[in-house]
């Protein structure tokens, strides 16, 4: 909003230098963006927030300046022109689109150049003087904030005005000389035959007022703000009028603008006001008084005020104020739709006093004994330290995803929480899985040539029944490269399993790996993690169809997801000190052939079940599935480590226990020695 200081002084003289006036406006919440000198005038560019359309006028800003400086405003004297018996036919087809339309007919007018004072005011706010009729509407627009338009009444077919939606196929040439196609989403002002203006945005060229105009129809109206905004965007057309209609003009101000413009038109044009019609549909609802006390204001702002101070502040802003005991009942004016509750009134007090004049003070904080469970934070810390020590990098991704990415991960069956007003189509859902987020990172890294990745994330998954803190681990590519090795070893499922085991061991949690049915994992390499029979998560190799959906080729990806909420509620276990062994260990390597569907975990369970007190560990060494293995079988090599903390083991007792284990593997799992 451009504010001419010469124009401002027609209503109020703040008796401040330009610099001090700018400073007071800024401290009242107004952003003064620039300052320009035009001859003897100074013009300020003031940023007006969308909730304050009342300040899109010189009088609106004068009211604000009067409140913050304590100076009185000299409002212009406006004659009240009432509807006449000689009416102008105005038909409003839908009162929701147009709740008020005032038509004023001025006959025998002389349209000419505007007087010098009027041209000066219009020029000051960067509007081009056209003629005395059009310049008056622009002057009143900038003075009061009420948009107006003038028509050449003799060019209106049938002498009637119809406010309606445009019909399919209708066109209009606006005053800028551009022909524009209309549709039913656009409100128009029409005569008996065709549209003569795009309501609230721009008039038509066929009915514009020129120097040959003799009879002027002045329009002042109130149009639906949402409809104006949509029409302006639809046409790619914005004007000073549409800018104000989009922010909602004051309904009573429609009459004020019509009266002010009629006053100013009659003098320079020498015309006569012969008819006026006020087609009005009063809006439903009304402003209600807001109760506020001195204590409320002092507690929130931290400064001392009196009832007299408050009454002066609110009255200067055109609020109606009445005392009710120790409280004030404050009624906001019709043009202040942003004031709805007591905190809004407190903001008005703070702005008027000046934010720089509010004393700074520390907030009062009352100490409370909050019982917090330290276990979740401790578990997260242990997980991070363990994984990062193993060379796995932590990532942080967005909490939102979309249905398309879930479908690409074959997780469309998950019931995700939908975002009502997403910023983008890619953020429609609160993610029920961390897999889409991590795969998007993998795809981006692959596109940049980085294909060796070890990633983890600790974040929340979202469901209708609540949130779940989750650990996700993803491994792909080659293991850590030792320059001395000639062959690059690719990561496999056991690398993922080892990383998970390290984490769970650090937490003192013993889980079992069992068969899984997760559709996004390869059916030949997938496991479910279970703790005391309760599902904890899943781990395995991502199915080839999932990788194809993400355009990932020629590389395997291993992924695991663990629900940490289950671990948070477990009792904290103390890990007892385990002394270093004093006696030597005996190692026996075992190479067996078993059916492919036999899990390594089952083999380890059988070994430990029959190893007695002297079997201290089972270590996997190698898996083989070559030509020397019977079809449908696989070869496994692992070591059995025997050791006693009390004595040196004898060969015969190791042999006896070892044979017992081998016999059990053969009997229970069908394993044969190789």
Residue 323 and residue 311: Cα distance in Å, rounded?
Answer: 9
Phi/psi-derived region of residue 656, left when phi > 0, alpha when psi is between -120 and 50, beta in every other case: alpha
Across 63-67, 378-382, 555-559, 593-597, least confident range? 593-597
Q: Which pLDDT score is estimated for 223?
A: 96
Average of per-residue pLDDT across 263-292: 90
Residue 355 and residue 499: Cα distance in Å, rounded?
Answer: 56
Residue 91 scores a pLDDT above 90: yes
Q: Could you report the per-residue pLDDT of 58-78, keeping only the tens digit for each?
A: 999 999 999 999 999 999 999
Torsion angle, CA of 313/316/319/323, rounded to 10 degrees? 50
Coil vs helix vs strand at 316: helix
pLDDT band for position 143 (cuts 50, 70, 90): very high
Task: Identify the structural domains of the chain with CATH numbers, from first to last.
Answer: 2-69 (3.30.56.10), 90-280 (3.50.40.10), 290-356 (3.30.56.10), 375-568 (3.30.930.10), 586-673 (3.30.70.380)
Question: Beta 327-331 vs 400-401: how paired, if at all?
Answer: unpaired
Q: How many CA atoms lie within 13 A of 60 on its CB side?
A: 26
Q: Could you report the per-residue pLDDT of 147-196, keeping only the tens digit for each?
A: 999 999 999 999 999 999 999 999 999 999 999 999 999 999 999 999 99
Q: How far apart are the first and last CA of the chain?
A: 89
Neighbours of 156 (CB within 10 A): 21
Which run of H or of E encompasses 434?
none
The closest of 416, 412, 446 to 431, measured between CA atoms, is: 416
The closest of 589, 597, 593 to 618, measured between CA atoms, is: 589
Q: Which pLDDT score is estimated for 579?
A: 83
Residue 481 scores a pLDDT above 70: no
φ/ψ of residue 425, rounded to 5: -70, -20
Q: Which pLDDT score is estimated for 374?
A: 85
pTM, 2 dp = 0.61
Q: Which pLDDT score is estimated for 576?
A: 75
The closest of 57, 7, 55 to 28, measured between CA atoms, is: 55
| Greatest extent of the chain over all pairs of C-alpha atoms, in Å | 129
Q: Could you report the per-residue pLDDT of 499-544, keeping only the tens digit for each?
A: 999 999 888 888 888 888 888 998 888 889 888 888 899 999 999 9
Contact 335, 250 (CB under 8 A): yes
- Helices (runs of H) and strands (runs of E) counted in the chain: 19, 31
Residue 234 and residue 176: Cα distance in Å, rounded?
Answer: 17
Q: Which pLDDT score is estimated for 535?
A: 87
Across 76-80, 237-241, 541-545, 620-624, least confident range? 620-624
- Beta carbons within 8 Å of 304's beta carbon, 6+ residues apart: 298
Average of per-residue pLDDT across 434-454: 93
Q: Which pLDDT score is estimated for 151?
A: 97
Residue whose entry in the numeric block shows the structure tokens 């005053």: 175
């Amino acid at each position: 909003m451009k504010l001419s200081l010469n124009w401002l002084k027609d209503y109020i003289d703040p008796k401040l230098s330009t610099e001090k006036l700018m400073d007071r406006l800024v401290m009242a919440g107004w952003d003064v963006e620039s300052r320009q000198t035009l001859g003897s005038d100074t013009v300020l560019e003031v940023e007006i927030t969308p909730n304050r359309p009342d300040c899109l006028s010189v009088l609106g800003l004068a009211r604000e300046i009067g409140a913050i400086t304590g100076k009185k405003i000299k409002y212009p004297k406006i004659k009240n022109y009432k509807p006449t018996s000689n009416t102008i036919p105005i038909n409003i087809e839908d009162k929701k689109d147009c709740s008020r339309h005032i038509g004023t007919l001025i006959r025998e007018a002389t349209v000419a150049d505007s007087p010098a004072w009027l041209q000066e005011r219009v020029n000051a706010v960067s509007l081009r003087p056209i003629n005395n009729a059009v310049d008056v509407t622009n002057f009143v627009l900038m003075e009061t904030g009420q948009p107006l338009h003038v028509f050449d009444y003799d060019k209106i077919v049938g002498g009637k005005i119809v406010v309606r939606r445009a019909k399919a196929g209708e066109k209009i040439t606006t005053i800028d000389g551009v022909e524009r196609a209309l549709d039913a989403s656009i409100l128009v002002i029409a005569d008996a035959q065709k549209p003569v203006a795009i309501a609230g945005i721009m008039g038509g060229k066929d009915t514009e007022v020129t120097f040959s105009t003799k009879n002027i129809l002045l329009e002042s109206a109130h149009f639906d703000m949402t409809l104006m905004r949509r029409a302006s965007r639809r046409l790619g057309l914005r004007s000073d009028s549409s800018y104000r209609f989009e922010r909602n003009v004051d309904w009573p101000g429609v009459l004020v603008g019509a009266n002010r413009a009629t006053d100013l038109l009659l003098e320079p044009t020498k015309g006569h006001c012969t008819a006026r019609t006020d087609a009005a549909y009063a809006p439903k609802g009304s402003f209600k008084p807001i109760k506020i006390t001195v204590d409320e204001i002092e507690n929130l702002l931290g400064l001392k005020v009196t009832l007299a101070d408050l009454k002066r502040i609110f009255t200067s802003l055109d609020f109606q104020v009445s005392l009710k005991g120790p409280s004030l009942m404050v009624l906001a004016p019709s043009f202040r739709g942003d004031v709805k509750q007591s905190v809004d009134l407190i903001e008005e007090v703070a702005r008027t006093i000046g934010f720089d004049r509010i004393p700074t003070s520390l907030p009062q904080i009352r100490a409370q004994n909050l019982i917090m469970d330290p276990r979740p934070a401790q578990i997260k810390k242990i997980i991070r330290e363990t994984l990062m020590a193993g060379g796995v990098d932590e990532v942080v991704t967005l909490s939102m995803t979309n249905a398309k990415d879930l479908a690409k991960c074959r997780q469309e069956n998950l019931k995700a929480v939908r975002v009502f007003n997403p910023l983008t189509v890619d953020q429609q859902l609160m993610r029920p899985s961390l897999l889409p987020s991590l795969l998007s990172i993998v795809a981006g890294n692959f596109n940049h040539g980085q294909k060796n990745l070890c990633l983890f994330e600790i974040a929340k998954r979202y469901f209708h029944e609540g949130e779940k803190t989750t650990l996700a681990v993803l491994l792909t590519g080659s293991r850590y490269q030792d320059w001395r090795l000639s062959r690059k070893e690719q990561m496999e499922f056991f690398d993922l399993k080892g990383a998970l085991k390290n984490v769970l061991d650090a937490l003192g949690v013993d889980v079992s790996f069992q068969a899984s049915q997760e559709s996004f994992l390869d059916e030949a390499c997938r496991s479910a993690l279970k703790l005391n029979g309760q599902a904890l998560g899943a781990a395995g190799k991502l199915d080839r169809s999932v990788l194809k959906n993400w355009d990932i080729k020629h590389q395997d990806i291993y992924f695991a997801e663990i629900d940490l909420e289950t671990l948070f509620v477990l009792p904290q276990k103390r890990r007892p000190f385990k002394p270093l062994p004093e006696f030597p260990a005996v190692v026996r390597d075992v190479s067996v052939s078993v059916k492919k569907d036999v899990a390594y975990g089952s083999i380890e369970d059988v070994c430990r079940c029959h190893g007695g007190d002297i079997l201290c560990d089972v270590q996997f060494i190698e898996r083989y599935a070559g030509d020397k293995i019977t079809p449908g079988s696989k070869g496994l090599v692992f070591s059995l480590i025997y050791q006693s903390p009390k004595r040196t083991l004898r060969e015969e007792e190791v042999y006896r226990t070892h044979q017992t284990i081998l016999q059990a593997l053969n009997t229970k799992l069908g394993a044969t020695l190789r």
